[in-house]
Amino acid sequence: MVGKVCAAINIVTIDEAVDDGRIALSEGAQVLEYRLDKNLLYKDMEKYLRALDRLYPDIKNPRKFEIISTNMTKAESGDFEGSPKEWATVLRKTIAFHTDYVTVGTNMAKTEEGKGLCRYAAENNSRIILSHHDQSGMPDPAALIEILEGERYIAKQLDVPFIAKVACMATKPEEVLYMMEATLHEMTDINGNKVPKIMIAMGSSGSDWRPISLREPWNCHLNYFAINQQKRTAKGQLTVKQGVAVLRALEG
């Protein structure tokens, strides 16, 4: 089993995002993450929601790639500064466009807006990525597993299946071993299915882990790569080209 290469795309302008998506897919990406919090149009919500019509392909024309809609708040390492209601409105709009996944930070998932969004996503076949970000450092394996179990508890309370995402900053190479160990921790969701994971060691020390995490025995569902080094959405991202090249090399 090999996980998926996801191109993380900052939505600075719609035209640039569409072009970046085409480039990423031509280079081997299977998933596009739209970082919606990077576009300041959200300050004019009506105009912003109209703009999204151009970003999401018509569902009547089957696409060969998946889309993640991410709208991270300032409190969760993102840039969205709108109200919780506006945050949820943006993501609900993308669910109406049949986005394949929505990213929900663990703090937002505990709010009434977040709870409602998660249930709405589950009812409309958009998979929920419960996300924990820590840019201050890398917890030890036991603490990482505790974070994963905390995400499972949130999903259980909401009665929804989920994908577990944990992203922590690796300040030295040996800390990546903590993430590798925690990734092997298995969990089941409300339906008794194995919980997929997205495990990220941010920073340059964790760069090589991104493609390696997609291979056995870790089998992460996906990991994030940049269009190019100037358009990274997080520290330590390899480019899509680099990630695909590493995976091909590992395949021998």
Report pLDDT digits (tens) over 197-212.
Answer: 999 999 999 999 999 9
State the pLDDT confidence band at 41, using cuts at 50, 70 and 90.
Answer: low
State the pLDDT confidence band at 116, using cuts at 50, 70 and 90.
Answer: very high
Higher pLDDT, 44 or 93: 93
Q: Are 141 and 112 spatial neighbours (Cβ–Cβ below 8 Å)?
A: no
pLDDT, the chain, mean: 92
Question: Is pLDDT at 156 greater than 80 in this prediction?
Answer: yes
Query: What pLDDT is stored for residue 167 in this prediction?
Result: 97
Please state, in angstroms and rounded to a whole number, the distance separating the CA atoms of residues 29 and 6: 6
Which residues, in sequence order, are bridge partners of residue 127? Answer: 101
Q: Where are the beta strands (DSSP E) in 11-100?
A: 31-35, 66-70
| Burial state string for 176-214 with b = 16 or more CB within 10 A and e = fewer than 16 | bebbbebbebebebeeeeebbbbbbbbbebbbbbbbbbb
pTM, 2 dp: 0.94
Q: Are 101 and 126 spatial neighbours (Cβ–Cβ below 8 Å)?
A: yes
Please state, in angstroms and rounded to a whole number, the distance separating the CA atoms of residues 101 and 99: 6
Query: The CATH number of 4-251 is which of 3.60.70.12, 3.20.20.70, 3.50.50.60, 3.40.50.300?
Result: 3.20.20.70
Least confident range of 14-23, 168-177, 179-188: 14-23
| Amino acid in position 61 | N
Question: Is pLDDT at 1 greater than 60 in this prediction?
Answer: no
Mean local confidence (pLDDT), 181-199:
98
Query: What pLDDT is stored for residue 234 in this prediction?
Result: 87
Q: What are the distances in angstroms from CA 14 to CA 20, 36, 128?
A: 10, 10, 24
Per-residue pLDDT reduced to its tens digit, 223-237: 999 999 999 888 899
